[in-house]
Structure 1
Amino acid sequence: MGAKLTSRILFQPPEVASYSQIYPREVEYFRTKSNIRVPFYFVESDTPSQVYVLYAHGNATDMGHSYEFICNLSQKLSVNVMHFEYYGYGILKNNSKPSEEGVYETILGAYTYLTETLRIDPRTIILMGTSMGTGAVIYLASTLAVNNVDVGGLILESPFESVVRCLSRNWFGRYIDMFPSRFRIKNVRCPILILHGTRDKVVPIKHGKEMLKLARCKVSPHWVDGAGHNNLRRKMGINKYNEVLKKFIIELYRDVNSPSLHSNNPLQVY
């Protein structure tokens, strides 16, 4: 009963999808282990690039709402971006229900598509999540690390320790908790970038700061003064936002054994 109530509180997909199979561009599909077709966008960089961003959106939104955002990432950062949908969201709203396990299954399906269908090296993949999406990417990064697989990096925008910790600090509530990122972040081995607004009332900045403390790898924090939960990028300004992400990505691939940003100049030392 408690877990179902937590799910109902957490998952708030838009009533109507913001996109269709052909608008604003034609979607592609991969299949999950449950054999469900999941839509995704794949935006290639204008400049040939070996770097791939796997993006997981937040709650109360869907894949279509993030389309312009991922196009900006691809163009300004010279990266390829894959953005997938969750069960029960967007054009999957009528044939599946949102759930924590469903979020995990869809991001695993997206990662499998990149690494097995497209044959992408995991080291060239950066996992990026916003709000609820941070629970998805931390889960994936932790799962892969436990299995001795490393991705290139992790970008967390407004991350939370766990769902119940956003709502309550009592121990009873933790028995029905979801997305326990505070425990999983300790397994992550790749560099992490955390962005969080100082006036976030949905996921207070103390969550971002706690995740910074719990991580055992290199973490670059960026606290955005005056930003709330839904206006972090606007408060930063898109140019500053792109600058912070670009710097992080370049730092990831400084080492000679790491892939370069551009495929026509492999293994370059910056």
Structure 2
Amino acid sequence: MGTNRKSYLSVQRCRAMISLRRKRIIRRILFGTFKLLLLAFFIVFVIGPLVFKYSYSLQRSVIFLNYVNFPVNPNYSNPAAYGLPGVLNFDVITDDNIKLGVWYILPEEIIKSSHNDVDINTLATAKQVVLYNHGNSGNRVSPHRVELYQVLRKYFHVVAFDYRSYGDSSDVEPSEEGLVSDAKFMFKWIRNHTSSDIFVWGHSLGTAISTRLVRELEMEKIQATGLILESPFNNMREEIARHPLATAFKNLPWFQFTVVNPMQENGFKFENDKNIQNVNCSILILHAKDDFVVPYQLGYELYKTALSNRQNGQGSVQLESFDSKFSYGHKHICRAPELPRIIENFIVKARDEFGTRNQKDFSMNV
């Protein structure tokens, strides 16, 4: 009996020691995991924002995304390969010696009635031209942009280009001033080739470029007939705070100090809401309610700002919203069946409001 009791106690002690060891191992694993999580939190939510605050190049990269070149290795000289016949690919050199890659896209009606090569001189006969200013990332060949060109060419001669640092344009550092300068050069280039009405269409980041462009042109006594803003934001400060990627960071006490304020200090302002108040032409705003890149609310706030500060003679401001059930998101308002009608009506309204030189014999032919 004594031997059995000793064996029993020995077994119990072994079990107790094993259990104690397991508990120690579990505690070590839990403590190690906690330290790793704490370190990860510190790196992501403390070090990360601090690096962002002091890195101008990182801020610039996040804003412009010019290094995201999709599609890869595009063939700019063969637009027909992307479903766009009747397009001339060429380069222009700006006043500050920047090369810009450009597409001149003939209207649909001219393509149907002629098989001749595209000639820049055709611009001289245009009734209306649209200058398209794209958003960040990609290039003028990006699929959603090609889809939009197909709609625009129903009503316009279309001029689409890549800003500096995008596509096949000069590889120089982008800035808000630089992109506006490129867009201004292209507007004036169009004006030098035609006396027709010129509309400006901007998408996403391109809406801020377009609004500032039209405002600065008016300071030089140069007038755009109409301004179309697709998926716009009111200013970069609000866009940063409400962007989906900022969701995990925006409640941090140091978010404004490390993320928002530095971008403002470095000139990444893109103040649509300020510039739009000094735009003296008809404005059309297009925004999908399921836009998760630029939330619909920002576009609506821009609309309210424009509307509440509008003076007599500045032209109308129109907002067209697209329900979430259609899933147009940030890039595919061009798929809305009603978009051609909206564009057509806006052209008529814009030309009527500003009494363009061709108003008497106006038709929807381009």
Same fold (TM over 0.5): yes
Matches of 2:188 and 2:92, distance apart in 1: 9
Matches of 1:206 and 1:2, distance apart in 2: 30
| Structure 1 pair 132–146 and aligned structure 2 pair: CA distance change class (3 A) | same
State the one-letter code of the partner of 2:102. F
Q: Which residue of 1 aligns with 2:161?
A: 84
> How do 1:201-212 and structure 2 match up within 5 A?
201-212=292-303
Matches of 1:157 and 1:6, distance apart in 2: 24
In terms of fraction of residues, the more helix-rich structure is 2
Matches of 2:73 and 2:199, distance apart in 1: 26
> How do 1:202-241 and structure 2 match up within 5 A?
202-215=293-306, 216=310, 217=314, 218-226=316-324, 227-234=328-335, 237=336, 239-241=337-339
Matches of 1:213 and 1:256, distance apart in 2: 22
Q: Which residue of 2 aligns with 1:146?
A: 219
Structure 1: which 5+ runs fail to align?
Answer: 261-265
Asked if 1:108 is matched to 2:189, the reply is no
Computed over aligned residues only, the root mean square deviation of the Cα atoms, in angstroms, reads 2.5
Q: Which residue of 2 aligns with 1:250?
A: 348
Q: Which residue of 1 aligns with 2:93?
A: 31
Contact 1:30 1:113 in 2 (8 A): no
Q: Which residue of 2 aligns with 1:7?
A: 60
Q: Which residue of 1 aligns with 2:231?
A: 158
**C-alpha distance after superposition, 1:117-173 (max 9, x if no partner):** x1435xx11000110111111111110223333210000001112223211384735
| Structure 1 pair 127–201 and aligned structure 2 pair: CA distance change class (3 A) | same
Higher gyration radius (CA): 2
Number of equivalenced pairs: 256
- 1:256: how far off? 8.7
| Structure 1 pair 194–41 and aligned structure 2 pair: CA distance change class (3 A) | same
TM-score, scaled to structure 1: 0.84
- 1:204: how far off? 1.1
Asked if 1:19 is matched to 2:74, the reply is yes
- 1:18: how far off? 5.5
Matches of 1:114 and 1:202, distance apart in 2: 31
Name the SS for the 1:140 alignment partner. Answer: helix
- 1:253: how far off? 2.0
- 1:84: how far off? 1.0
Asked if 1:175 is matched to 2:251, the reply is no
- 1:101: how far off? 2.5
Deviates more, 1:170-179 or 1:181-190: 170-179
State the one-letter code of the partner of 2:187. Y
Matches of 1:269 and 1:84, distance apart in 2: 28
State the one-letter code of the partner of 2:340. N
Matches of 1:126 and 1:268, distance apart in 2: 19
Q: Percent of counterpart pairs with the same letter? A: 26
TM-score, scaled to structure 2: 0.64
Matches of 1:256 and 1:140, distance apart in 2: 18
Matches of 2:106 and 2:332, distance apart in 1: 26
